[in-house]
Copies of this chain bind each other. A is one copy, B any other.
Amino acid sequence: MASGVDAALVLPDLAAIRAAHARIAPYVHRTPVMTCGAIDADVDASLFFKCEHLQKVGAFKARGACNAVFSLDDDVAGRGVVTHSSGNHGAALAYAAKRRGIPACVVMPRNAPKVKQANVARFGATVRLCEPTVTAREATCDEVMRETGATLIHPFDDPRVIAGQATAVVELLEAVPDLDVVIAPCGGGGLLSGTAIAARSLEPSLRVLGAEPANADDAARSFASGRVEPLPATTTIADGLRTTLSPRTLAALRTHVGTIGTCSEVGILRAMRMIFERMKQVVEPSSSVPLACLLERTLDVAGARVGIIVTGGNVDLDTLQWS
């Protein structure tokens, strides 16, 4: 690391994102872009949905995980990778490790749904259960690293992961070159910061906007205050967005993102139902947050050509309640 550079704030540039795109191409789908005239009419804009719910493991997370895993030197990779996500990043890391042929361990709280444990295990990764606290998760990760020499691949606070997530918008802009706006949901900010860096490097006049549930609006508050604001206990159904920014992702947002809109829980369900019924696509609540912000007019895109990253489609149909 060059002196004077804070490692905790390093972000990928366009060259790193292009390198990531080439690196992961054999392992991820180039997902389609969908449009829906009936939804356009309701939001007074032309929407272009980048369909990462059709990505490997059903989420954009496959991109970041593959870039991180395939960036490792052989000797480091051989000792395996570890993470502490119970959601899509856990499955994505398991998938990436399987493709590289290296061990992966995903630390999950004991109370994580069996379906999520199975989703990780089906790619051959080890599931290591711990108490459902942040402290226990981190301690268990440290333990795995000490025992095996595995490398930690953080769900979002890692320049390699951010560069990987950024490749979705690179493809979107190749498919639809004349966008005015791009919107991505914001949890830890890995996708949004990568999207913003890539989009603004490729098209400096593009507006990049974030979207999050009002019930988990730490990003909007952090964006306003300039420091990482804590996320109180949250009840949002958008389970992918229950995470706080890191100083790294906040720095990227403050530089490249125009604003962050928030939406109600009812709005998320309404947007999700609209995507099911009109687009016939199964998306998870987090994926519906940008459309919810448009429907509730907390993001202003009137008349614009708008790209939206649809982040994933891993929804538990057994617990899904439409009202």
Since A276-B317, A277-B317, A317-B322 are in contact, a sample of 15 more A-B pairs with Cβ atoms closer than 8 Å, ordered by chain A residue number, is: A32-B32, A53-B280, A54-B280, A58-B280, A273-B317, A276-B282, A277-B282, A280-B281, A280-B282, A280-B283, A280-B313, A281-B281, A281-B282, A282-B282, A318-B322
Closest to A277 in B: B317
> How many chain-A residues does the 8 Å CB contact rule pick out?
15
A–B Cβ pairs within 8 angstroms, 18 of them: A32-B32, A53-B280, A54-B280, A58-B280, A273-B317, A276-B282, A276-B317, A277-B282, A277-B317, A280-B281, A280-B282, A280-B283, A280-B313, A281-B281, A281-B282, A282-B282, A317-B322, A318-B322
1/0 per residue A3-27: CB within 8 Å of B? 0000000000000000000000000
Contacts of A276 in B (CB 8 A): 282, 317
Sorted nearest first, the 6 A-B pairs with minimum C-beta distance are A280-B313, A280-B282, A53-B280, A276-B282, A317-B322, A282-B282
1/0 per residue A27-61: CB within 8 Å of B? 00000100000000000000000000110001000
Contacts of A280 in B (CB 8 A): 53-54, 58, 281-283, 313
Contacts of A317 in B (CB 8 A): 273, 276-277, 322
**Docked CA distance A205–B313 (Å):** 38
> What distance in Å separates the Cβ of A54 from its nearest Cβ neighbour in chain B?
6
Q: Which residues 277-309 of A have a CB within 8 angstroms of B? A: 277, 280-283
**Docked CA distance A283–B32 (Å):** 19
**Docked CA distance A132–B32 (Å):** 43
**Docked CA distance A285–B2 (Å):** 60
Contacts of A32 in B (CB 8 A): 32
**Docked CA distance A273–B277 (Å):** 16
> What distance in Å separates the Cβ of A27 from its nearest Cβ neighbour in chain B?
13
**Docked CA distance A230–B318 (Å):** 37
> What distance in Å separates the Cβ of A287 from its nearest Cβ neighbour in chain B?
10
**Docked CA distance A44–B322 (Å):** 35
> What distance in Å separates the Cβ of A39 from its nearest Cβ neighbour in chain B?
14
1/0 per residue A149-164: CB within 8 Å of B? 0000000000000000
**Docked CA distance A318–B277 (Å):** 11
> What distance in Å separates the Cβ of A168 from its nearest Cβ neighbour in chain B?
16
Contacts of A58 in B (CB 8 A): 280
Q: Which residues 142-178 of A have a CB within 8 angstroms of B? A: none
Contacts of A318 in B (CB 8 A): 322
**Docked CA distance A53–B281 (Å):** 10
Contacts of A53 in B (CB 8 A): 280
**Docked CA distance A58–B142 (Å):** 51
Closest to A53 in B: B280
**Docked CA distance A281–B280 (Å):** 6
Closest to A122 in B: B38
**Docked CA distance A150–B221 (Å):** 62
